Amino acid sequence: MNNAYKCFWNGMEMEVYANSSYGAQICATGEFQKVAGRKKVKTYDITVVLCEVKGKQITHSGEIPV
């Protein structure tokens, strides 16, 4: 089952479906490279955030538990 991830690079973002965050990063690298043209997209420059697991949305919060 693929999870949904949101990937960010160089001011751009895209949603990717993959089994792991590493898989999402690799997939997003190829997609961002198509848009980037001659500029080389490096996997370590891509930020990956989990958005959905098994169809359930994940909410990230900056709140610190008390």
Give strand ranges (E) for 1-66: 3-9, 12-18, 47-53, 56-57
What integer pLDDT is reported at residue 23 of this predicted model? Answer: 95
Q: pLDDT digits over 6-63, tens only?
A: 999 999 999 999 999 999 999 999 999 999 889 899 999 999 999 999 889 988 888 8
In angstroms, the CA 61 to CA 56 distance is 16
What integer pLDDT is reported at residue 1 of this predicted model? Answer: 67
